[in-house]
Structure 1
């Protein structure tokens, strides 16, 4: 039996830390929409509270099997009505914290799945001095 190394043409999340993450060789410090087909778009939101239905309507224009919503530092859900554009296009949505979305995106994209990750990058809370 011959083994072949995994090869994927999809962008890969290669690292992350408080307030940043890397996709291949590029470092980001803002929220981002990343697709396994190669699209990278700044997602104009810095906090979960900044999100609106328009943020999710934007995601429906992608031809994806599933959208991974990285909801920030913890797992939070948006109002179901905001998901109508995705439901109408029969695109699934999975919600998880952003660190879990990084890992899940890499697995699905590496399998050749058509996936979009909407990654909310929140700044960690300032520590008390």
Structure 2
């Protein structure tokens, strides 16, 4: 699916998504990703069942105010202990399917929020 394209100045926007990939500023990225308004990097998670505390703890270094977790094609919730370090640091965590996480990221980023998207491929 292609999303409305309104590229921000030097900011990452999700402009589309499909099976196994997302488009960021119209550039295709395959696999699982960590996306901030300023960076895109692979997320070393094999799949939903392999999520571990370390996968979420690494997000602390990015100093977000909110982490959006895109769980793939459907909404899936992980065990709360996986996000304990984020919550203890006062960082919000919102879980949604990947499509919703992409759309929500764009809105929050446009509001100049310090948002990070942890995305599992659809």
Q: Is the 8 A contact 1:109 1:115 kept in 2?
A: yes
Residue 51 of structure 1 deviates from its aligned partner by 1.1
Counterpart CA distance in 2 for 1:9 and 1:94 is 25
Counterpart CA distance in 1 for 2:97 and 2:18 is 13
Q: Is the 8 A contact 2:73 2:97 kept in 1?
A: yes
Q: Is the 8 A contact 2:70 2:119 kept in 1?
A: yes
Q: Is the 8 A contact 2:7 2:25 kept in 1?
A: no
Residue in structure 1 matched with residue 94 of structure 2 by the alignment: 94
Residue in structure 2 matched with residue 84 of structure 1 by the alignment: 84
Q: Is the 8 A contact 1:72 1:97 kept in 2?
A: yes
After the TM superposition, which residues 47-126 of structure 1 pair with which residues of structure 2 at under 5 Å, given as runs?
A: 47-122=47-122
Equivalent residue pairs, number: 117
Aligned-residue CA RMSD (Å): 1.8
- Cα 1:95–1:72 change in 2 (3 A) is same
Which stretches in structure 1 are left out of the alignment for 5+ residues?
A: 123-129
Counterpart CA distance in 1 for 2:55 and 2:68 is 13
Deviating beyond 3 angstroms after TM superposition, the runs of 4 or more aligned structure 1 residues are 5-9
- Cα 1:6–1:120 change in 2 (3 A) is closer
Q: Describe the SS at the equivalent of 1:105.
A: helix
Higher gyration radius (CA):
1
After the TM superposition, which residues 16-27 of structure 1 pair with which residues of structure 2 at under 5 Å, given as runs?
A: 16-27=17-28
TM-score (norm 2): 0.87
Which stretches in structure 2 are left out of the alignment for 5+ residues?
A: 1-5
- Cα 1:41–1:74 change in 2 (3 A) is same
Counterpart CA distance in 2 for 1:74 and 1:6 is 27
